[in-house]
A and B are shown apart, each in its own frame.
Chain A
Amino acid sequence: MNGQGILKGMLVTAKNFFGSYVSRERLTTVSYPEGGNTIKEQSRNIPFLVFDGEDPVAGMRCTACQKCEKACPPQCIFIEKDKDERGKALQRPKVFDIDASVCMGCQICVEVCPFESIWMDSNFELSTFNRFEGLQFNREKLLKSNTYFHKIHPQQAQASDDRLAEKERKRLEREAARRAEKSASEPQV
């Protein structure tokens, strides 16, 4: 009880007090609005839908297969298939809602989606004044361009583009193979 422990402890706090003026390592707080924010490349928050080209609805990759709706643990995704004028089902969601207040950003929908159409956004400033209009993201709010995707997640975007290109090439090969095989079978007849 003879006070040495306490004095040693006081020395440590003194070192930190003067250290915080000197070394960056001892002063780690970042003043948020002015200073930088430390968003990493992989950080994820609320999902968004990717579209290629200019027109959001036409270039949408999502084909409304509703896999993500089934796999989402808190079930916060709601999809309705689109119908053209004659009532034939289209490979596109008319309504694609995500309830941002329920979504916990677990990225399962991204893993389940076979068409690389839904990815996680890293924008975290989502506060709104109204819980219902503000946080119910409808299709227009969710659709973001591929360039935006390349801006926030360069590596992931590049990887998904390669996979899509790969799939495209395989499809073309199959196409060519089928055409070749059809043309081969054609002459015998």
Chain B
Amino acid sequence: MQDTLNLFVMNIGQWLSANLGTLNNPDQIIVEIARWLRTEFGNWGVVGFILANLMATVPLIAVFSGCFALTTWLERKGLGRIQNRYGPNRVGPYGLFQPMADGIKMLLKEDIVPERADKIGHFLAPVIIMIPAMTGLVFLPIGRNIIAASIDSALLFFFAIGSIVSLSVFMAGWASHNKFSLVGGMRAIAQLVSYEMPLILSAVVVVMFVGSMNTSVIVEAQQIKSWVTSDAPALQCLGQVLGWHVFQPWGLMGFLLLFVSALAEANRSPFDLPEADSEIIAGHLTEYSGFKYALFFLAEYVNTFAIIGICTTLFLGGWNGPNIRPPWSDDPQALLIPGFVWFFLKIFVLMGIMIWIRGTLPRLRIDQLMGFAWKFLLPLAIINLLVAGCFYHMEWYFGWPFSILILCKSYAIVVRLNKSKLVNSNRTYTYA
């Protein structure tokens, strides 16, 4: 074992000296190291095979759990500041060690399982909720060819995996044998199943335009090729940004629909009925404590990251961002700033918006939630599909006004249809 190790170290030194000289595309450093490691593991046999697979997945889980810790801190700080108070500022500078403190607290807390709960279901629920959360991350193109698995039907796989969440939430609700969690479980299934329809339909628009469900192809399609390959750096920057789908009329509507149903899929603010703390204490999480609760929490946040990641890849141009081709490099596709910087920036911006929404909006009732999905989001998604189809075949000077007109009109019609008689009759208050 000793000689393979120093052989390994010697190779590293050799490789570094060879490559650092040219550095013709700076954002590919990680990809170069990964490719080189994979060739190195190749000749290690079975151990190498396992290590190569781990290399693809372990950094993913580590990075997104780190993002989870950062978002809990961001959320508590953001909500604090919205409510005119400091966020956590005792543990570490500006409270940065607060997620660690929470983690340790969760580890040390006693894990109470109610006496009448059926143990197997109670134990399995957090395990099963981790599977869709983590596998959802596999299809996110974090940087230029930094992706765990770029398979052909990536998007479809993502939505298929997403539907398992409702199963585990119901198992948690059912297994803890508590009336509030039973109600929470039922609400969760109803909500998750009925919000998958708008989610998938608003994502289909992008597949229709790009022609493939492979996420890295979708992200590539969001660059204006002619501008990016031109020489002027300004044009390169604009090429990377203006190509995003969100700047198309159908893209903007699709993005809004996708973001709203993502809020519902991830049980975030206006739709957090499964664990509505003012009505049914903590919904399906009532009987969980200690590390199982932390697992549920981690899975929920990682699930939110996965769905926000899909939002950015589909509409906000995944790792595309205003960066230019480094002048010293000859490779036309090289980029100065690595792609994952933009990807994580967009994720945290969307997360910030979710925190902002959580700080402001109250909760919907269960029947309004259903009504909102089936009578508001779904028709708009279908109309958006129709408009995108026409937009695809029209010239741009016909397409833009047509789609903008149709989308706004349909939004107004659907709003009027949903306005019930008694509700929002604007109230007059007589003064005696």
Contacts and interface: CB of A to CB of B under 8 A. Distances in A.
Interface in B380-424: 411-412, 415, 418-419, 424
B81 interface: yes
A15 to B, nearest CB: 10
A183 interface: no
A58 interface: no
B419 A13 contact: no
B427 interface: no
Q: Is the interface of B mostly helix, strand, loop or mixed?
A: helix
Contacts of A16: 81-84
Contacts of B418: 1
B290 interface: no
B84 A6 contact: no
A9 interface: yes
Nearest to A19: B84
Contacts of A19: 84
Contacts of B412: 2
Contacts of A21: 81
A13 B356 contact: yes
Nearest to B372: A1
A12 B419 CA distance: 25
B236 to A, nearest CB: 33
B361 interface: yes
A3 B424 CA distance: 13
B361 A28 contact: no
A29 B86 contact: yes
Contacts of A10: 356-357, 360
A143 to B, nearest CB: 38
Nearest to B362: A9
Contact of B360 (A1, A2, A13): A13
A14 interface: yes
Contacts of B360: 6, 9-10, 12-13
Nearest to A28: B84
B85 interface: yes
A31 B357 CA distance: 27
A26 B361 contact: no
A14 B355 CA distance: 11
Contacts of B415: 1-2
Q: How large is the interface on A (under 10, 10 to 19, 20 to 34, 35 or more residues)?
A: 10 to 19
A27 interface: yes
Contact of A9 (B78, B83, B361): B361
Nearest to A31: B86
Contacts of B86: 27, 29, 31
Contact of A1 (B356, B361, B419): B419
**Interface hub of A12, A17, A27, A28 (most chain B Cβ within 10 A):** A17
B85 A29 contact: yes
Contacts of A6: 360-361
B359 interface: yes
B356 A14 contact: yes
A26 B81 CA distance: 9
Contact of B78 (A12, A17, A29): A17
**Interface hub of B81, B85, B411, B415 (most chain A Cβ within 10 A):** B81
A20 interface: yes
A27 B424 CA distance: 34
Contacts of B356: 10, 13-14, 17
Interface string B68-85: 000000000010011111
B84 A26 contact: yes
A133 B172 CA distance: 48
Contact of B84 (A2, A14, A20, A31): A20
Contacts of A27: 84-86
A121 to B, nearest CB: 29
Contact of A13 (B85, B89, B359): B359
A16 B360 CA distance: 11
B424 A1 contact: yes
Contacts of A17: 78, 81-82, 356, 359
A26 B85 CA distance: 8
A20 B81 contact: yes
A12 B356 CA distance: 11
Interface in B351-370: 356-357, 359-361
Interface string A14-43: 101101110000111101000000000000
B161 to A, nearest CB: 31
B296 to A, nearest CB: 27
Contacts of B357: 10
Contacts of A13: 82, 356, 359-360
11 contacts: A1-B418, A2-B412, A9-B360, A13-B82, A13-B356, A13-B359, A16-B81, A19-B84, A27-B84, A27-B85, A31-B86
Interface of A: 1-2, 6, 9-10, 12-14, 16-17, 19-21, 26-29, 31
Given A1-B418, A9-B361, A10-B360, 8 more contacts: A1-B415, A6-B361, A13-B82, A20-B84, A26-B84, A28-B84, A31-B86, A31-B89
| Nearest 5 CB-CB pairings of A with B | A29-B85, A13-B360, A2-B415, A17-B82, A20-B81
